[in-house]
Amino acid sequence: MSELFDLEELLGSFKQQADELRLQLHLAKAEARDELEALEKKVEELKQKAEIVRREAGEASEDVLEAAKLLAEEIKNGFDRIRKSL
């Protein structure tokens, strides 16, 4: 009878773990969705910087280009983080 009790306890533990993991996955998806939305805004910002670089020439555009490169790297890293979390 004690083996049956141990099995019931084990099954209950598995159900609890599955429920906890389901909640964590749900929260992770929400977090990934939020991060994706933030990255999409950064992509828009990068588009605007690219337009400025196209319009301007000289030293000022080099500063904008450098900022755009940094932003592009941040966006790339964000997409990588989202892929890894899924």
Model confidence, pTM: 0.62
- Better-predicted residue by pLDDT, 77 or 83: 77
Choose among 68, 2, 76, 82: nearest CA to 35: 82
pLDDT score, position 84: 81
Cβ-Cβ contacts under 8 Å for 73 (sequence gap 6 or more): none
Confidence of residue 6 (pLDDT cuts 50, 70, 90): confident
Indicate the residue type of 33: R
Give tens-digit pLDDT for 13-45.
999 999 998 998 888 888 888 999 999 999 998
